[in-house]
Amino acid sequence: MRYTGKAALVTGGSRGIGAAVVRRLAQEGLKVAFFYRQRVDKVEELLEWARHAQLTVVPIKVDISDPRNLLSAITDAKANVGPIDYLVNNAGVSHYKLLTEEEQQELEEVLRTNLESVILLTREIAKGMVIRSFGSIVNISSIWGLYGGSCEAVYAATKGGIISFTRSLAKELGPSNVRVNCVAPGVVRTDMMLNHFTEEEIAQLCQRIPLGRLAHPEEVASAVA
């Protein structure tokens, strides 16, 4: 276990990439707190897995799209696992539709969840990392943040913003021995992805991927760890 005695915080940790990251970091010896908004069934699955493996995993229910919730959630995380040494900004939402059809509420949800919450949460967690001269931050972006994606213009914009934010913050926090990196996966087999595409559309996507298949959440988790 590489990280015994250290603590991590993962957003969007109840399913998909986030759940895979929670499992991997816990297996590496970290005490892991994770934020989730819904899907209590997935949270229970994670907790049962952690109990069986005798690992520390702590769920914290919070809607990170509302900045008023973040400070108390961070306090809860620290109270349960200690000062945060590793932060993984993974939470994200998307509405697969044309920009001209997006409602204002949908736009705000994507912007606040995917970008604003990342900036605000990182600001608060980085303060402690700088004081301790140690820390690692990994932001989960997307290939759409590099190349854009039709019917996901707002999502792609937030993921592009994450990439720029990562580059800037790496320069800012590097002198304090705090690493900031970004993982930008292609198409990953997650609930969010499966809700957007039919099996026929997925098969067409796979034809454009050299491996001939979608990525698995565990593969992204390996890159994070």
Residue 1 inside a domain? The answer is no
Domain CATH number, residue 112: 3.40.50.720
Query: pLDDT value at position 7?
Result: 98
Greater pLDDT, 208 or 24:
24
Residue 183 inside a domain? The answer is yes
Tally of structural domains, the chain: 1
Query: pLDDT value at position 211?
Result: 86
Query: pLDDT value at position 71?
Result: 92
Residue 41 inside a domain? The answer is yes
| 19 band by pLDDT with thresholds 50, 70 and 90 | very high
Residue 53 inside a domain? The answer is yes
Residue 40 inside a domain? The answer is yes
pLDDT of 123 above 80: yes
How far is the C-alpha of 20 from the C-alpha of 41, rounded, in Å? 15
pLDDT of 81 above 90: yes
* Host domain of residue 11: 7-224
Calculate mean pLDDT across residues 82-93. 96
Residue 2 inside a domain? The answer is no
Task: Sheet with 178-183: list strands edge to edge.
Answer: 57-61, 31-36, 7-10, 86-89, 135-140, 178-183
Active-site residue (options: 3, 36, 86, 155):
155
- DSSP letter, residue 115: I
Query: pLDDT value at position 101?
Result: 95
Helices assigned H by DSSP within the chain: 16-27, 40-53, 70-81, 104-111, 117-132, 144-147, 153-173, 191-196, 199-206, 217-224
Residue 198 inside a domain? The answer is yes
Decide: helix, strand or coil at residue 141. coil
- DSSP letter, residue 54: T
Residue 155 appears among annotated catalytic residues:
yes
pLDDT of 150 above 90: no
Query: pLDDT value at position 136?
Result: 98
| 1 band by pLDDT with thresholds 50, 70 and 90 | low
Tell me the per-residue pLDDT of 167-219, one tens digit each, with 9 for 90 and over. Answer: 999 999 999 999 999 999 988 888 777 777 788 888 888 888 888 888 899 99
- DSSP letter, residue 67: G
